[in-house]
Structures are given as structure tokens and as C-alpha cells.
Structure 1
Amino acid sequence: MKADVVTLSTYKSAHLPEIRPTLLDVYAEVWAKEIETEPFFSIARFDDRLSGHASGGDWTCVVGELGGETVGYAYGRLDSVSEWRKVLDPVELSVHNYGSDGTFGLCEIMVRLPWRGTGVACGIHDELMQQRQEERASLLVDRERPKMRALYEKWGYCRVGEMQPFPDSPRYDALVLPLR
């Protein structure tokens, strides 16, 4: 990704009312197929999750734009200990304590179709991670999306177990990236 082509802007939870429509529009485009068939992926459910994620003061979002058009975004927040206690089949039991010593949870990363495979996702991700002080970052990837998991592993993430954050959500692989 060329830094002089894509503009990366950082937002905090106080900015959510301003950027919410953009985040919802990109979500609707990226998840269009699933929105039609799976209630968990509905726009209303995503909007609820977005509100929950941004409710803490540590929420950070990086939005990429090219010529005034949003190409993608990534956002996350500090993970809690209770979230890490939900890890199923952990690779090692110490993952249950990850929330106590600083783990940034990457909640969403989305890139619109025309910019996939161009390095934009990695650029947005890296910008977000460079701003974090936590020891590690985490994300969940749908077990039915092995290409996405392979991409995250290429970025340095390692599988630490599985999670199912909501009763009606898919079961996800939990991945972690050392930041320090």
C-alpha cells in the first residue's frame, strides 16, 4: 500500500456518531450475502455489537480513504479477562489470563472488494496496531474462512484456541499477535 495514496484516519469512541454511517455502509457491502441469510450478521446485530465495542474509552478505529471514498477500516478495544475465559480448547492454559496483562482485541477489519489483495487491509491493520501499547493483539476468524486465517497468520498471528462469543455466532479460531 502506498501511504501517499490511501489516507488513514484514527477515531475514538467520541467520534462514533460521526463515522457510524460509514462503518455500517462498508459492513453492509462486505457482508451482503450473509446479511440476507444469517440473523447474526444482520446490520442491526452488527450495529449493536459496534455500540458495545465502542462503549469503552479505549476503542480505536482506523479508516482508510482514497479520493474521499472509504476503502476499509479496522477497529478494536482492550479485551477483558472474562472474554479470555471463554477460550475453548486453548493451545495453552495461560491464554485464559491474556485480558489481565494487556490484549487489544481487533473486533473488525473490513476492506471493500475493489481494494482487496492490494495491501490496504495490512496497512490499515498496521496503523491501528502501531498506536497500541498492549502486549498483544487478538482477533477471531470464522473457522469456515481458511484463506482469511492464512492471511492473518502471514501477518504474524498464531492460533491460541477457539471461541463462540454469542450463542448464535459461528465458532471462531482465536488468534494472537505479539505487539511488544
Structure 2
Amino acid sequence: METALMVDVRRFTHADLPAIRQALIDVHADAYTDAMDHEFNQRFPWFVDHWGGNPEFDCVIAFDGDSPVGFAYGAPASAHREWWREHMEAPPRSRTFAYSELAVRTGYRKTGLAQHLTRELLDARAEDLAVLLVDTEHPRVQALYESWGFSKVGERQPFPDSPLFAVMLAELPLL
């Protein structure tokens, strides 16, 4: 899907993290401005470093001119550490991409940018599946991912202070 915006989407890797780290933090702070009082969201820089520290980190960032306006990132799931499998009776044997984060600045919402970033990130992946977490308090976000081909397979609270998340899985490439 093409976004109505004229943005330039660029791909970045683990080696690029020092150059893009602050852009990710800034976009996240704007995208989640109403939720930044929650301590869990204040730890986002740690998550950037954790995911970006993975040698197979994959990230796309949308730029409007020189300004980053949205991003999506993740990394392949480690073999034998695909935690989502516990939510299925007969999980498929396949490689999984852990889609960790999607954020779009508030002024760029409802433009198709989130789906555009998702497709830019996932369409280039060689894995068979993508897994992500969605806060169960945000059913419209869950419905959006479902419209892109993801299905809820369970719920998970990965950290004691994190929200309860819907575990969502999709076959790649997305439809």
C-alpha cells in the first residue's frame, strides 16, 4: 500500500544504531506522548539498545525531508527461544521474525504510514512468520494488525510492570 504522504523510507541495520538511536527515541516519545508517564515506556532507550544490539537488527525509518516521522524494527527470533510457540498446541516449524516496535509521530497518523512501514520492514524478510505484541488495552490497534494478516494466538506479560499484550502472529509475506 502506498502512503498518501511523500516520505522517504530508508533501511538500517545493527551497524547504523549509533546514527539512528536518537531518531528512534524522539519518534517514540512523540508517538507515545500520552503514555510517557508510565515507567515501562520510559525504558524505551533500553529496548532500542537491546534490539539494536542484535547483529541481525533490521529497521526502517520514514523521513519527511530530513525529519524522521515513523519507524518499524525487529530481528529474527533466536532458535529455541521463540516464546510465542507456547501459545499454540501445534506450532509450525518455521523461522520467525520478532517485530518489536512500530511508531508514527502523532501528526502522521491515519495516513497509511504505519502499514507502509510494516510492509517495508516485513516484505524484505526471509522468515516464514512474524510475531508481535499489542497492548490488550488497545483493541483498535489489534484490529489494525488483524487487517494486515496477523492473528491473536494468546496473551503475555513479558515484564512485571509491562501491560498485558496480545501475542499476534502472521505468515510472511503479508497478504
TM-score exceeds 0.5? yes
Structure 1 match to 2:26: 25
What amino acid maps onto 1:149 in structure 2? Q
Deviation of the 1:32 alpha carbon: 1.8
Q: Alignment RMSD, CA only? A: 1.8
Structure 2 match to 1:84: 83
Provide structure 2 residue ranges, at least 5 long, that are not aligned to the other structure: none
Work out the CA distance in 1 between the residues paired with 2:85 and 2:131: 14
- Asked if 1:41 corresponds to 2:41, the answer is yes
- Asked if 1:7 corresponds to 2:3, the answer is no
- Residue 83 to residue 169, structure 1, CA distance change in 2 (3 Å): farther
Work out the CA distance in 1 between the residues paired with 2:132 and 2:5: 28
The alignment's TM-score, normalised by the length of structure 1, stands at 0.88
Secondary structure at the counterpart of residue 93 of structure 1: coil
- Asked if 1:164 corresponds to 2:157, the answer is yes
What amino acid maps onto 1:94 in structure 2? A
Q: Percent identity?
A: 36
- Residue 166 to residue 117, structure 1, CA distance change in 2 (3 Å): same
Structure with more of its chain in helix, by fraction:
1
Work out the CA distance in 2 between the residues paired with 1:3 and 1:32: 24
Structure 2 match to 1:74: 72
Within 5 Å, which residues of 2 pair with 1:54-69? 54-69=52-67
The alignment's TM-score, normalised by the length of structure 2, stands at 0.90
Work out the CA distance in 2 between the residues paired with 1:82 and 1:163: 15
User: How many residue pairs align between the two structures?
Assistant: 171
Provide structure 1 residue ranges, at least 5 long, that are not aligned to the other structure: none
- Asked if 1:103 corresponds to 2:104, the answer is no
Within 5 Å, which residues of 2 pair with 1:117-136? 117-136=110-129
